[in-house]
Chains A and B, each alone.
Chain A
Amino acid sequence: MAKKQIMPLWFYRLASPKYCYQITATLLPYFAAITLALLSIGIVWALLFAPQDYQQGNSFRIIYIHVPSALLAQSIYLTMALSGAIGIIWKMKIADMVAYACAPIGASMAFVALITGAIWGKPTWGSWWVWDARLTSMLILLFLYFGVMALYSAMGNSASAARAAAILSLVGLVNIPIIKYSVDWWNTLHQPATFTLTEKPAMPVEMWLPLLVMVLGFYFFFATAMLLRLRNEILLREKRTSWVKQLVSEL
C-alpha cells in the first residue's frame, strides 16, 4: 500500500513479521541474560542485605515483588493500549500481535501484585484483604485485563478481534485515571488513613536501591516474556508463508 512515510524507516521494517522475527531472535538472548542477572542480584540484595523496616520488620521485604509487579501491571496496560492504537491507525499486524502478547502477562502481574498485597496485609493489617485504595485499583485493573482477554477468547485472533481489543483497551486507558481518582476518593471517605505498602516517607538508599534493581529486572522480564509470546504468535499467524514453512522444514 502506498502510504506517506511519516515514521522512521525502522518502524516500517518492524511491520514485516519476518524481519521482526529475525531481529527479536538476536535481541532475545540479551534480554534473557539481563533479566536473569538483574533479578538474581535484586533478590539476593533485597532479601539478605537490605535493612529491616523498623516498623514492619522483615515482612516489608515483599515490596520488592509487590512494587515492581504493580508498576508492570500498569505499564503493560499502557503498552497494550498503545500498540493496539498503532495497529488500528497503521494497520500494523505486529502491533496487534504485541497487544495480544501483552494481555496475559499484564494480567498475571496485576494478579501477583494483588497476591503479594494480600500476603503483606496479613501481618500488617491482620487480614488477607483490606479495601485499600491501591489494592482496589489494582483489582479493577485486573478486571480490565480480564475484559480484554475475554474479548480475545470470544473473537479468536482475527484482525477484527485485534481491532475490538484495541478499542476496548483504549477505552480502558482513558478510564484508568478516572477509576484511580474515584477509588482514592472513595477510600478516603470510607477508611481512616492507614499506612500503605508503598508510600514510605523517605525510604533510605539501602532500601530503594535494590527496589530499583528489581523494577528494572521486572521490566526486562516483561520484555523477554513478551518477545517469546510475540515470536510464537508470529509463527502461528504466518504459518502459511514460505519463510515459516522453510523454518519448520529446517528443524
Chain B
Amino acid sequence: MAALLLKVNELFCERDERILFENLNFDLHAGKILHVKGKNGSGKTSLLRILCGLYQEYEGQIDFLEENVQEVRDLYNQSLLFIGHHVSVKQALTPRENLNWYAKIHPQLDASLIESALSSVGLQNYEDVLCQNLSAGQKRRVNLARLFMFAKERFTNSLWILDEPFTAIDVDGVEKLERRILYYIENGGSVILTTHQPLQIGAVVEQLNLDDWGT
C-alpha cells in the first residue's frame, strides 16, 4: 500500500468575502496524480498555494505523511516542488545561474543535472544567455527545467504542485513534460496539478472538481 502522502481535512477558505470551498476533504497517496479542476475563480490557485504553505488564511488541517504539515514544515518544503503562475526566473541571470540558485535553496534539486535538465526542455546552447533575451515560452521552460532536476533518490514521498504547467508550452514540450511526470510518479512521486488541457496520461489521474465544493 502506497503511503498516504497528503490528507486534507475540512479545509475552508474564503477570499474577498466569498467562500471558495468549505468542508473540503481529500487524500493523496504516493504515486498518484490529482487533477484539480474548476471554473475560473473557483479557487484552484488558492488551494494549491494553501497546500504549498504559501497562503495561510484557511481553516482546517493538512497532514503530510500523517503529521500536521505545520509541524514538519522543513521536511515538507524539502519534499516539495512548486511551479506557480510567475516566471520565477530572474531576467538578469542566465538559465544556468537561475537553476544553480534553485539547487542551493532547494536541496531536493540536484545542481549536477542542470545541463541535462536544460537540454530536456530544449534549451541546450542557451545555458549562458541572459533570460531577458529569451522568449516567454523559453523562460517558462527554464522554470520547468526544475522538474528535470529533482533528484531521483528523493522521488519517494515527494510532491510536485504544478499550477498550469503547460501554459505557453508547445505540443512537443507538453508531451515531454507529461513523460517526465509519468516517470516521476512511477518512481514514487505524487503530483497535484491544474490544467485546462486534456491530459494524455489518463490512467493514474484522480479528479477533484472545486465547483462541487464552493458556494
Seen from chain A, the residues whose Cβ lies within 8 Å of a Cβ on chain B are: 1-2, 158-160, 240
Contacts and interface: CB of A to CB of B under 8 A. Distances in A.
A160 B57 contact: yes
A1 B57 contact: no
A1 B17 contact: no
Interface string B126-157: 00000000000000000000000000000000
A88 B42 CA distance: 28
B59 interface: yes
B17 A240 contact: yes
Given A158-B57, A159-B56, 7 more contacts: A1-B59, A1-B61, A2-B61, A159-B57, A160-B56, A160-B57, A240-B17
Contacts of A158: 57
Contacts of B59: 1
A159 B59 CA distance: 12
9 contacts: A1-B59, A1-B61, A2-B61, A158-B57, A159-B56, A159-B57, A160-B56, A160-B57, A240-B17
A95 to B, nearest CB: 16
B1 to A, nearest CB: 26
A159 B57 CA distance: 7
Nearest to A239: B17
Contacts of B56: 159-160
A1 B17 CA distance: 22
A2 B68 CA distance: 11
A1 B11 CA distance: 11
B67 to A, nearest CB: 13
Nearest to B15: A158
A159 B56 CA distance: 9
A240 B16 CA distance: 12
Interface in B10-33: 17
Contacts of A159: 56-57
Interface string B37-61: 0000000000000000000110101
A84 to B, nearest CB: 16
Contacts of B57: 158-160
Contacts of A1: 59, 61
Contacts of B17: 240
Contacts of A160: 56-57
Nearest to A159: B57
A240 B17 CA distance: 9
User: Shortest 8 CB-CB distances between A and B: which pairs?
Assistant: A159-B57, A1-B61, A240-B17, A160-B57, A1-B59, A158-B57, A159-B56, A2-B61
B53 to A, nearest CB: 15
Nearest to B16: A158
Interface in B135-184: none
Nearest to B68: A2
A158 B17 CA distance: 10
Contacts of B61: 1-2
A2 B61 CA distance: 9
A2 B9 CA distance: 12
B168 to A, nearest CB: 30
A9 B61 CA distance: 22
A159 B15 CA distance: 11
A158 B57 CA distance: 9
B60 to A, nearest CB: 8
B120 to A, nearest CB: 38
B43 to A, nearest CB: 17
B82 to A, nearest CB: 20
B16 to A, nearest CB: 9
A231 B202 CA distance: 54
A250 to B, nearest CB: 23
A16 B7 CA distance: 27
Nearest to B70: A1
Nearest to A160: B57
A188 B17 CA distance: 54
A27 to B, nearest CB: 29
A59 B59 CA distance: 57
Nearest to B10: A1
B73 to A, nearest CB: 16
